[in-house]
Amino acid sequence: MATITRPETTPIATRTQARPLEGGVVCVGVSHQTAPLALRERLALSRDAIGAMLAQFGCGRDSRPIGVSELVVLATCNRLELYAAGSAQAADILLDRVASATGVPRTELDAVAYVYEGDDAVRHLCRTAAGLESMIVGESQVLGQVSDALATAMAHGAAGHALTTIFRGAVRAGRRARVETGINHNSATVSSAAVKLATSVVDDLASATVLVVGAGQTAELAVRALQQRGAERIVICSRTREHAEQLTDAVGGAVIPFEQLADALAAADIVVASTSAPHHLITRGMVASALWLRPDRPLVILDLAVPRDVDPDVASVPGVWHVDLDDLQRNVAESRDERAGEIPRVEAVVDEETRAVADALRQLGAQPLIADLRHHAEAVRRTALEQSRHHFAHLSEADRAAIAAFSESLVNRLLHEPMRRLRHDAAEGQAAGYAMALRHLFGLGG
C-alpha cells in the first residue's frame, strides 16, 4: 500500500496553538481515517442541520458566535469537516457546535477530531478536492462535494472572502490534478468499488435483479457501475417517488413504492442502499424473511449510507453477503497502489495552489487598507476640486470635466506604485508594519 504524505495533525486534547495564516483559517474534522463508521454515522448531519448551522453564521446574524466570521461545512459519507475564518478559539467553538448538533460528547469527539490551521488548513482542503484524502484515491465525486459545500454556505451568507478564496483554490487544485496527472485514470468511486466487490459473488449480472434503495448521486453512480458490468434489471425504491422517477429517467429501470421494500428484497440478488435516512431501513428480520423465501440464492447487500441504511446484524443471516463503508475501506488497497505513482505529481499541484491561495489570503488582509486609502484620496480630490470651483467658473463644462478627469488620473498614478508594493508585501506576509505606518501617516481609522 502506498504511503501518502500528509500534514501533521494534532488531537484536540493535546494540541498546542499553531502559527495561523494571516486571516485566521481553521479546519476541524473527522474522517474515515480517524473514526470508525459507527462513530461517523453518529456525527452525520442532515441537510437541514447543516443549513441551520450555517444560518447561525450568516452575515448580520446576532447569533453568530464571537470568534468565527465565516463557515463552510463539508459533509460526505466519509468525512465531516468545518472550515472557518476567525480567531484562535474557532476550533473549540466549532467542535462545541458539532457536539451540540449531534449529541456526541466533546470528550469522545476530541479523541478522533483533527485540526488544521493556516497553510495546513488550505493544503488539507486542496488534497481533499484532489482526491488524496478519499477512501478511493483520486475519486472524482469529492470535487463536486467541495464545490457544493461552498455554494451552500454562500446561499446562507456564511462564506465570505476568505473561505470563498480557499474553496475556489481547492476546486482549482482538484481540477488541475485530474487534468494534469493520471490520478483519475480508470476513475473509481465508493459506489464502483462496492459494485466490483459484489461481482465476485454474483457472476451473471445480466440475469440478476438489482434493488436500489435511494435515488441520490451515490445510488446513480452505483447503478451506472452495475450497468457497465452487464446489469439490466434495475428496480428503484425511494421514499420520494419523484426522486425515484428522476433516477429512472437518467438510468432506466422500474420504480416501486417504498412500502413494497420488504417484498422487493425477496426478489433481489443485489441491494444497493444509499439514502439520507437517520435510521435503519432494512432490518435483520426483513432480510431473514426474504432469504426464507429464496434459500438457494445468495443476497448481496451494499450499504453505502452514513448513517447506515442496513442493520449490521443482517450479516449473520445465512446466505447474505453484506458490505458497508468500513468493510469497503479494508478492500480498497488496490486503488491506492494503482495511483501511487501519480501522488507526487498531485502533491506538486496541491503545493502550487496552496501557495497561490495563501498569497491571495494575505492580500485580502491588505484590501481594507487599500480601500481606505482610495476612499481618503478620492475625498481629498473632490474637496480640492470643490474648493477650486470659483477658479474654473469661466471654463466650459467640457474643460471642467477634463480637469476632473485629470485629477482622477493623477490620484490613480500616485497610488499605483504604493498599492502594488503593499499587495506584494502582503503576499510575503510583511504588510502589518506598513499598514500601521500608512494608517498613522494618512490619519486613517482602523
Query: What are 48's three cell numbers?
Result: 437541514
What are φ and ψ of residue 321, in 5° steps?
A: -115, 105
Which string of DSSP letters, residue by residue, matches 317-354? Answer: STTEEEE-HHHHHTT-HHHHHHHGGGHHHHHHHHHHHH
CB 314 within 8 A of CB 322: yes
Query: What are 173's three cell numbers?
Result: 487544485
Catalytic residue among 27, 59, 77, 126: 77
Q: How far apart are CA 222 and CA 213, in angstroms?
A: 11
Sign of the Cα torsion 298, 299, 302, 305 reads negative
> Which of 32, 128, 8 lies closest to 332 in space, CA to CA?
32
Q: Output the CA angle 228-75-150, nearest 5 degrees.
A: 100
Query: What are 228's three cell numbers?
Result: 457497465
Q: 77: how many CB neighbours lie within 10 A of its CB?
A: 20
Which string of DSSP letters, residue by residue, matches 88-138? Answer: TTHHHHHHHHHHHHH---HHHHHTT-EEEETHHHHHHHHHHHTTTTSSSTT
77 is catalytic: yes
> Which of 259, 303, 321, 311 lies closest to 283 in space, CA to CA?
311
Query: What are 298's three cell numbers?
Result: 445468495
**Which residues, 6 or more positions from 324, have their beta carbon under 8 angstroms from its beta carbon?**
37, 303, 304, 308, 310, 312
Q: How far apart are CA 97 and CA 326, in angstroms?
A: 26
Residue indicated by cell numbers 439520507: 276
> Which of 243, 293, 286, 242 lies closest to 261 in space, CA to CA?
286
Q: How far apart are CA 310 and CA 290, in angstroms?
A: 14
Query: What are 15's three cell numbers?
Result: 494540541
Q: How far apart are CA 6 and CA 4, in angstroms?
A: 6
Query: What are 84's three cell numbers?
Result: 472557518
Q: How far apart are CA 75 and CA 82, in angstroms?
A: 8
**Active-site positions?**
77
